[in-house]
């Protein structure tokens, strides 16, 4: 029998250093939490903090979900979802012209970022990403015990030349958010393709380039890059898309990765078999086909963007011209302003954790939400003596 006893241990949880150093992802505050904290009616709260579609999702999705829940034979209910997402991959394949063996479904593209880091990163490896970019790149890299190489941004956007130069022999993945969150900047398709080409010519399949395109549907049609078409020539490219933003399915959780079949095979090895639930698969299948709703969401966002941009100009508040459904604006005493807005029932996103302590990010809402935000912001700035 072992001589060791419990007292030989420090009686502390033993956690890898990389995990101890993790700062958890700070999501936009949920409506119910703000209602509880500030004694407000949840119905009156305006959440402009997580870049969700303010129109919700397509009524056709609602109908499909209701039909599924009310008519589906009992023999189907209670079953695990299709582990291979056959139908959803089928419609994606047809819509985007990518073979199903190049598609991986995820519980949001967030999970796909995790899956990529599980498959391609380990201690001793590194990943390259930009400062002021999507925080999950850093978190998922760190959680694998791999090293993150954060490259300074250029005018709050991605500096692709510097990112290329930052690649080291240990680097296995480069993360490119385009458009970028939380700054709203965008790089033209041509710049992305020449970056991908440079990386492939120098490093071949040794370095993956992950093109995270969560906001692509909000781009003007003439700007929308056809990144999926890059995969054939550049097998090191992984394209991530999500149903959480323009399609409005953030609450259902579904996204996909398009990649070379070999990369897809590796992703599939570490993916949980039932990672995308049945309702999410169904919802995405229906959402993809409702182009009218997508168009309506695009138009509504375009109008809201114009309205908010003009309001910032009128108030003399510097902001980043946006290619997305949110706007980053400058605000000295950002934390206090965000707090004062919360007390008025308006939730915006502080971005100090993204290295931007003097900015706030506001998601573009419906016309009435945008107006309420502008009114609340000008009242707050008046009260704090910060108005122009
Ligand atoms: C919102 C977002 C995602 C993913 O959202 P999911 O809901 O997990 O699909 C991924 N990347 C960026 C840059 C985002 O802003």
pLDDT at 339 over 90: yes
* pLDDT tens per residue across span 281-300: 999 999 999 999 999 999 99
Which residue's CA is the nearest one to ligand 1's atom 11? 214
pLDDT at 73 over 80: no
Give the residue among 23, 25, 267 at the shortest CA–CA distance from 136. 25
pLDDT of residue 26: 77
SS (H, E, C) the chain: CCCCCHHHCCCCCCCCHHHHCCCCCCCCCCHHHHHHHHCCCHHHCEECCCCCCCCCCCHHHHHHHHHHHHHCCCCCCCCCCCCCCHHHHHHHHHHHCCCHHHEEEECCHHHHHHHHHHHHCCCCCEEEEECCCCHHHHHHHHHCCCEEEEECCECCECCHHHHHHHCCCCEEEEEEECCCCCCCCCCCHHHHHHHHHHHHHHHHHHCEEEEECCCHHHCCCCCCCCHHHHCCCCCCEEEEEECCCCCCCCCCCCEEEEECHHHHHHHHHHCCCCCCCHHHHHHHHHHHHCHHHHHHHHHHHHHHHHHHHHHHHHHCCCECCCCCCEEEEECCCHHHHHHHHHHCCEECEECHHHCCCCEEEEECCCHHHHHHHHHHHHHHHHHCCCCC
pLDDT at 32 over 80: yes
pLDDT of residue 274: 97
Angle, nearest 10°, between helix axes 109-120 and 261-270? 90
Name, in order, each residue with C-beta under 8 angstroms of 221's C-beta and a sequence gap of 6 or more.
none
CA angle 10, 15, 17 (to 5 degrees): 110
Q: Give the pLDDT band of residue 4 (cuts 50, 70, 90).
A: low
pLDDT at 325 over 60: yes
Which residue's CA is the nearest one to ligand 1's atom 6? 108
CA distance 9 to 321: 56
pLDDT of residue 181: 98
Which residue's CA is the nearest one to ligand 1's atom 14? 214
Q: Give the pLDDT band of residue 11 (cuts 50, 70, 90).
A: confident
Which residue's CA is the nearest one to ligand 1's atom 2? 214
Average pLDDT, the chain: 95
CA distance 192 to 178: 9
Query: Could you tell me if 276 and 85 are in contact, meaning their C-beta atoms sit under 8 angstroms apart?
Result: yes
Q: Which atom of ligand 1 is nearest to the CA of 245?
A: 1
- CA torsion sign for 213, 214, 219, 224 is positive
pLDDT at 222 over 80: yes
Q: Which atom of ligand 1 is nearest to the CA of 182?
A: 15
pLDDT at 1 over 60: no
Expressed in angstroms and rounded, the spacing between residue 48 Cα and the centre of ligand 1 is: 15
- In angstroms, the Cα distances linking 348 to 328, 345, 365 are 10, 10, 11
Query: Could you tell me if 210 and 173 are in contact, meaning their C-beta atoms sit under 8 angstroms apart?
Result: yes
**Cis previous bond, 179, omega within 30:** yes
For the residues 72-78, what does the mean pLDDT come to?
Answer: 69
Give the residue among 26, 45, 52 at the shortest CA–CA distance from 363. 52
pLDDT of residue 139: 95
Q: Which atom of ligand 1 is nearest to the CA of 254?
A: 9
pTM for this one? Answer: 0.95
pLDDT at 114 over 90: yes
For the residues 218-239, what does the mean pLDDT come to?
Answer: 97
Expressed in angstroms and rounded, the spacing between residue 110 Cα and the centre of ligand 1 is: 6
* pLDDT tens per residue across span 127-182: 999 999 999 999 999 999 999 999 999 999 999 999 999 999 999 999 999 999 99
Expressed in angstroms and rounded, the spacing between residue 5 Cα and the centre of ligand 1 is: 47
Residues within 6 Å of ligand 1 by CB: 51, 108-110, 134, 177, 181, 212, 214, 242, 244-245, 250, 255
Expressed in angstroms and rounded, the spacing between residue 139 Cα and the centre of ligand 1 is: 14
**Which of 109, 133, 216 should be mutated for ligand 1, with most atoms under 8 A from CB?**
109
For the residues 375-379, what does the mean pLDDT come to?
Answer: 97
Q: Give the pLDDT band of residue 195 (cuts 50, 70, 90).
A: very high
Expressed in angstroms and rounded, the spacing between residue 196 Cα and the centre of ligand 1 is: 21
pLDDT of residue 386: 86
Expressed in angstroms and rounded, the spacing between residue 212 Cα and the centre of ligand 1 is: 8
Residue with more model confidence, 134 or 386:
134
Beta bridge partners of 351: none
Residue with more model confidence, 4 or 197:
197
Angle, nearest 10°, between helix axes 278-289 and 59-71? 140
For the residues 194-202, what does the mean pLDDT come to?
Answer: 98
Q: Which atom of ligand 1 is nearest to the CA of 212?
A: 11
């Amino acid at each position: 029998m072992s001589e060791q006893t419990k007292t030989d241990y420090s009686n502390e949880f033993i956690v890898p250093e990389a995990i101890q150093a993790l700062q958890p992802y700070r999501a936009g505050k949920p409506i119910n939490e703000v209602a509880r904290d500030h004694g407000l009616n949840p119905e009156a709260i305006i959440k402009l903090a997580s870049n969700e579609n303010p129109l919700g999702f397509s009524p056709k999705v609602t109908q499909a979900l209701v039909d599924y829940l009310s008519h589906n034979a009992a023999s189907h209910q209670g079953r695990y979802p299709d582990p291979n997402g056959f139908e959803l991959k089928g419609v994606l394949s047809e819509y985007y012209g990518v073979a199903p063996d190049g598609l991986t479904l995820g519980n949001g593209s967030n999970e796909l970022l995790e899956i990529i880091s599980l498959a391609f990163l380990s201690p001793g490896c590194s990943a390259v990403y930009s400062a002021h970019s999507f925080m999950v790149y850093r978190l998922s890299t760190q959680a694998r015990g791999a090293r993150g190489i954060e490259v300074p941004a250029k005018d709050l956007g991605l500096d692709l030349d510097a990112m290329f130069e930052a690649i080291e022999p240990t680097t296995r993945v480069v993360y490119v958010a385009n458009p970028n969150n939380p700054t709203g900047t965008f790089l033209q398709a041509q710049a992305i393709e020449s970056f991908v080409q440079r990386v492939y010519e120098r490093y071949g399949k040794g370095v993956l380039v992950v093109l995270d395109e969560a906001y692509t549907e909000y781009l003007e049609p003439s700007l929308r890059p056809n990144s999926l078409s890059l995969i054939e020539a550049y097998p090191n490219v992984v394209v991530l898309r999500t149903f959480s933003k323009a399609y409005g399915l953030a609450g259902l959780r579904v996204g996909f990765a398009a990649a070379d079949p070999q990369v897809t095979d590796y992703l599939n090895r570490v993916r949980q078999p039932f990672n995308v639930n049945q309702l999410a698969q169904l919802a995405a299948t229906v959402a993809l086909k409702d182009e009218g709703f997508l168009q309506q969401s695009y138009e509504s966002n375009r109008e809201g963007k114009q309205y908010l941009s003009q309001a910032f100009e009128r108030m003399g508040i510097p902001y980043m011209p946006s290619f997305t459904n949110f706007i980053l604006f400058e605000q000295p005493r950002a934390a206090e302003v965000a707090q004062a807005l919360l007390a008025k029932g308006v939730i915006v996103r502080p971005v100090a954790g993204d290295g931007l302590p003097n900015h706030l990010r506001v998601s573009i809402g419906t016309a009435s939400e945008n107006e309420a935000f502008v009114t609340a912001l000008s009242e707050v700035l008046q009260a704090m003596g910060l108005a122009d």
